[in-house]
Chains A and B, each alone.
Chain A
Amino acid sequence: MKNLKFLVVEDEKLAQKVMAKHLEEYVVDFAETKEAALHKLQAADYDICFFDLMLGKKDNCSGLKLIPPAVSKGAYVVVMSSLDSEEIVNKAYESGCHDFYVKGNEEANISAVLARYQQKNASANAVTVFSEQFITDDPQTRSDILEVLKYARSSLPILILGQSGTGKTCLARLIHEHSGRAGQFIDINCSAYNQELLEAEIFGYKKGAFTGAYENRRGKLLEADKGTLFLDEIGAMSPDMQTKLLKAIEEKSFYPVGSDKKERSEFRVISATLEDLQKLLTEEKLRFDFFQRIHGFTIALKPLSQRKSDIFPLISAFTRTSKKLSFEKHARTLLLNHTWPGNIRELKRFIDVAAAGDGMITQDTVLRHTAQAMKTERQSDGFLAQEQYDCALAKGLNGAMEKFAYEVIKRSLLQHAGKKVKTLKELKISKRMLYSTLRKFEGKKDGIKI
């Protein structure tokens, strides 16, 4: 969604100033007279127009005359007035305005107007969000994303949790695109820098501040002015750095490294981490006060293995502009049963590689890939995966071991196209164990269908 553009028609200088302050993260044009407003409406398109009812001395509600031309250009029109008689309110709505408020409490009034505007556009947005911007068919993920988008227009900080490759950056960008903020989306991966470099990147620096600072440089905070600052992998940020950033977030001002000139920036913070939050707090890698400041709303993205209905819609999206792929039946089953430890990033890589070939995805193509992926997962995460540990905590060790045995048997059967003899030989288990495990989890003797 594009950044919001406002037209405020108001003859009082003080009221203009107040509106400018409340709308400072958006693009706002002002007009003081009806004529100036009509000129601006002809020259540009606005998303939301605020019209003062009375423009000038002895005025006969000329603000009402601006409503039809603004509505005809698709703007959401709001009338604001210190008069709220039934007659006036009726006249405003009859002229086609969408909203009316009584002046005097602008902060609450404007935020309520923005919420109503967002609600009006929400249903139209939902269609494009899940088919183009964040592809998912998973009901829970859709519902979580719609919930977080309700806060997109506020300045509320948002914390996104999820494994690597689950779409955290994509979601942060989506929230920014729905925020209507005029500034840019600026992202920084905190784990990609050592602490000194991270500070210089975030706050910027003055020429000569340190060896190698050959010129003044704007930091991410200034680049994110009126926009969004996305801090990925916040767990990698040192407690000292968290303290400095906390101050900048609270005061919306900061000093670049080596500078004594305070800079101001009206940025909104979205953070993300793939680590266990509780663990980060317990180990004091994440300061509690910093955590309190960045988790206004928290959303956890499920790994791809828990939203398998997204695998083929994602594949369709990845191949929208490239070669179409053809999948063998067994290849489809294997893709759905793979755990995708690298999540969407891994799926994208797999599709890129597959699309570079002949376009036919066979069982072998998938097995080759999944074997490599599991090898990589073993190398990076060690023997015990987080999911297995969580399962042991939930079901007890015996329950988790049974589940683990089932998953191993299931994968082996899939890889051998359901041939149990090969699975028995490969896993060195008895027929009794194989059948009792399958019966326990699938409730039938013959085991899983391939």
Chain B
Amino acid sequence: MESKSETRELLHDIESKTAGLRSAAKILRECPPKEKKELICLMKQSAQDILKYLTNLEKEINS
């Protein structure tokens, strides 16, 4: 039961983070250099979170 709820939460987090990443990618082109750097930094952090969630999801599925 616990595991099912964890999986659902992980899926939500992945959906949420990828949606954010997609929206950020769309505005990246028109950002001035300083904002671009800041945005890239946040996007990298999001990408790392996605990787972490995917690894956890993989573990959930395999367990």
Q: Within residues 263 to 294 of chain A, which ones have a CB less than 8 A from any CB in chain B?
A: 264
- Is B16 at the interface (CB under 8 A from chain A)? yes
Cβ A103 vs Cβ B19 within 8 A = yes
- Is B2 at the interface (CB under 8 A from chain A)? no
- Is A353 at the interface (CB under 8 A from chain B)? no
- Is B52 at the interface (CB under 8 A from chain A)? no
- Is B46 at the interface (CB under 8 A from chain A)? yes
- Is A107 at the interface (CB under 8 A from chain B)? yes
Q: Within residues 1 to 39 of chain B, which ones have a CB less than 8 A from any CB in chain A?
A: 9, 12, 15-24, 26-27, 31-32, 35, 38-39
Contact of A103 among B16, B26, B27, B39 (CB under 8 A): B16
Known: A12-B16, A82-B16, A83-B12. A17 touches B38 (CB 8 A): yes
Cβ B26 vs Cβ A14 within 8 A = no
Residues of A within 8 A of B38 (CB): 17
- Is B54 at the interface (CB under 8 A from chain A)? no
- Is A197 at the interface (CB under 8 A from chain B)? no
Kindly provide the distance from the CB of B6 to the nearest chain A CB, expressed in whole angstroms. Answer: 10
A17 and B43 CA atoms in complex are apart in Å by 10
Cβ A103 vs Cβ B12 within 8 A = no
Residues of A within 8 A of B12 (CB): 54, 82-83
- Is A15 at the interface (CB under 8 A from chain B)? yes
- Is B51 at the interface (CB under 8 A from chain A)? no
Residues of B within 8 A of A264 (CB): 32
- Is B45 at the interface (CB under 8 A from chain A)? yes
Cβ A105 vs Cβ B42 within 8 A = no
Contact of A14 among B31, B35, B42 (CB under 8 A): B42
A264 and B34 CA atoms in complex are apart in Å by 12
Cβ A18 vs Cβ B15 within 8 A = no
Cβ A106 vs Cβ B23 within 8 A = yes
Cβ A14 vs Cβ B20 within 8 A = yes
Cβ A14 vs Cβ B46 within 8 A = yes
- Is A320 at the interface (CB under 8 A from chain B)? no
- Is A399 at the interface (CB under 8 A from chain B)? no
Known: A82-B15, A107-B26. A18 touches B31 (CB 8 A): no
Contact with B along A1-42 (1 / 0, CB 8 A): 000000000001111011001100000000000000000000
Contact of A15 among B20, B31, B32, B35 (CB under 8 A): B20
Instruction: Give A52's nearest chain B residue, CB to CB.
Output: B16
- The range of chain B's interface size is 20 to 34
Contact of B24 among A18, A54, A58, A102 (CB under 8 A): A18
A448 and B11 CA atoms in complex are apart in Å by 81
Kindly provide the distance from the CB of B59 to the nearest chain A CB, expressed in whole angstroms. Answer: 18
Cβ A104 vs Cβ B23 within 8 A = yes
A102 and B45 CA atoms in complex are apart in Å by 22
Residues of A within 8 A of B16 (CB): 12, 54, 82, 103
Cβ A14 vs Cβ B45 within 8 A = yes
Q: Within residues 142 to 159 of chain A, which ones have a CB less than 8 A from any CB in chain B?
A: none
A264 and B31 CA atoms in complex are apart in Å by 11
Instruction: Give A19's nearest chain B residue, CB to CB.
Output: B23
Instruction: Give B31's nearest chain A residue, CB to CB.
Output: A21
User: For B19, B21, B32, which residue has the most chain A Cβ atoms within 10 angstroms?
Assistant: B19
Residues of A within 8 A of B9 (CB): 58
Cβ B22 vs Cβ A104 within 8 A = yes
Instruction: Give A104's nearest chain B residue, CB to CB.
Output: B19
Instruction: Give B25's nearest chain A residue, CB to CB.
Output: A18
Cβ A14 vs Cβ B27 within 8 A = no
Residues of B within 8 A of A15 (CB): 20, 23
Contact with B along A78-91 (1 / 0, CB 8 A): 00001100000000
Residues of B within 8 A of A107 (CB): 23, 26-27
Cβ A18 vs Cβ B27 within 8 A = yes
User: For A14, A21, A54, A107, which residue has the most chain B Cβ atoms within 10 angstroms?
Assistant: A14
Kindly provide the distance from the CB of B51 to the nearest chain A CB, expressed in whole angstroms. Answer: 15
Cβ A18 vs Cβ B32 within 8 A = no
Kindly provide the distance from the CB of B31 to the nearest chain A CB, expressed in whole angstroms. Answer: 7
Kindly provide the distance from the CB of A62 to the nearest chain B CB, expressed in whole angstroms. Answer: 14
Contact of B20 among A18, A22, A83, A253 (CB under 8 A): A18
A162 and B42 CA atoms in complex are apart in Å by 49
Q: Within residues 99 to 115 of chain A, which ones have a CB less than 8 A from any CB in chain B?
A: 102-107
13 A/B residue pairs, CB under 8 Å, sorted by A = A13-B42, A14-B42, A17-B24, A17-B39, A22-B27, A58-B9, A83-B15, A102-B19, A103-B20, A103-B23, A105-B22, A106-B23, A264-B32
Q: List the interface of chain B (C-beta within 8 A of A).
A: 9, 12, 15-24, 26-27, 31-32, 35, 38-39, 42-43, 45-46
Known contacts A14-B24, A14-B46; can you find 9 more A-B pairs with CB under 8 A?
A: A13-B45, A14-B42, A18-B23, A18-B24, A18-B27, A21-B27, A54-B12, A105-B23, A264-B32
Q: Which 3 A-B pairs have the closest CB atoms?
A: A104-B19, A103-B19, A82-B15
